[in-house]
Structure 1
């Protein structure tokens, strides 16, 4: 087991942009807003929102799937990065399939999720769409040969969500308790996203 922890200097290099327009914008933040952001430079301190990442084994995601580091500058300039607008300012949540033993409490859990998203993505509206069954999605599915769990093909699910995306949507998020798989050679995935599927005109 090892802990991945970067120095404050490394984090500042990654998180603080050299672009003068962004530096100027940052300077307009209140003292409390800057204090919150700067907690990221000192992860692991008591009460900090940011903690070091613990890697338990070589099969953990970070060592098993090496990725190029991304600093704030490259994130900000990414042509695929979406920002809300007056005409695309709503997050839609679509529940899919059964939520198991939660039963009647499912509606309460989903409402809590909506409330959380509403608070986290301040300024955006978050709406729940009517629940759908797996059959209604028309997605391909399989029974996993190891776990014997039902699994839905993510590409089909993304296309289904894209077809239901309202015109004022910033994005649509599908929530399900059913396993997902992206292609036959994969065992499962925790989730999958598309930056372009279901684009609004």
Structure 2
């Protein structure tokens, strides 16, 4: 069992944030100047303002927080930018499709996801009822809520993937489970196909 630790503060100075967001690479700095609007630049400049109110220090309270129990290497903009070049989409497969399953609010979802996947188009498919997927389900032991088997949904998404899709992301408000021994999962993915998440 994890031991509780004292609260830990993750803090980065203005210079470190500026390097992380904009990079020290002159070519990427020039790209930043050309690509972002004045409003976007103003928002990002707040990150390296010593009196900033946005991008505040992050307080990690216990060892159960994700950052302490699952440490990840930090990624700056330059690393992210170069990894995007290696992951260029196929000429024909350049869309991320969202597949709502059941009653899922779709407001602003396309816009939000588009902002994270530069150069790709995001499209929302019509919502489908759970009954049309024909996947296994069960009642959760703890809450008696219905849970859907993630593999059945992934098979449905894979078999109904549009020809121009890079991937399809299924979205549902119902609980998921990956196998009988697990009580739940937040998401599951098939490499190169797509995934399902709650």
Smaller-chain TM-score range?
A: 0.5 to 0.7
What CA distance in whole angstroms lies between the structure 2 residues aligned with 1:164 and 1:143? 27
1:194 shift after superposition: 4.6
Check 1:20–1:9 CA distance in 2 against 1; reply closer, same or farther (3 A cut).
closer
Give CA-to-partner distance per residue, 1:123-162, whole Å, 9 cap, x none: 8655432322333223333333223322223344233223
What CA distance in whole angstroms lies between the structure 2 residues aligned with 1:151 and 1:80? 38
Match of 2:176 among 177, 180, 183: 180
What CA distance in whole angstroms lies between the structure 1 residues aligned with 2:178 and 2:86? 23
Match of 2:45 among 26, 38, 44: 38
More divergent stretch after superposition (117-126 vs 20-29): 117-126
In the alignment, is the contact (CA less than 8 A) between 1:43 and 1:52 conserved in 2? no
Task: Confirm whether residue 196 of structure 1 aligns to residue 168 of structure 2.
Answer: no
In the alignment, is the contact (CA less than 8 A) between 1:80 and 1:195 conserved in 2? no
TM-score of the superposed pair, with normalisation by structure 1: 0.67
Task: Confirm whether residue 61 of structure 1 aligns to residue 61 of structure 2.
Answer: no
> In the alignment, which residue of structure 2 is the partner of 1:142?
138
1:62 shift after superposition: 1.8
TM-score of the superposed pair, with normalisation by structure 2: 0.68
Match of 1:23 among 21, 26, 29: 29
What's the C-alpha RMSD, in Å, of the aligned pairs?
3.6
What CA distance in whole angstroms lies between the structure 2 residues aligned with 1:39 and 1:195? 37
Task: In structure 2, list runs of 5 or more residues that go unmatched.
Answer: 1-6
1:178 shift after superposition: 0.5
In the alignment, is the contact (CA less than 8 A) between 1:75 and 1:81 conserved in 2? no
Show the 5 A alignment for 1:52-201. 52-78=57-83, 82-83=87-88, 87-97=92-102, 99=103, 109-110=105-106, 112-114=107-109, 116-117=111-112, 120=115, 126-197=122-193
> In the alignment, which residue of structure 2 is the partner of 1:103?
none
Secondary structure at the residue paired with 2:67? Answer: helix
Give the aligned length. Answer: 186
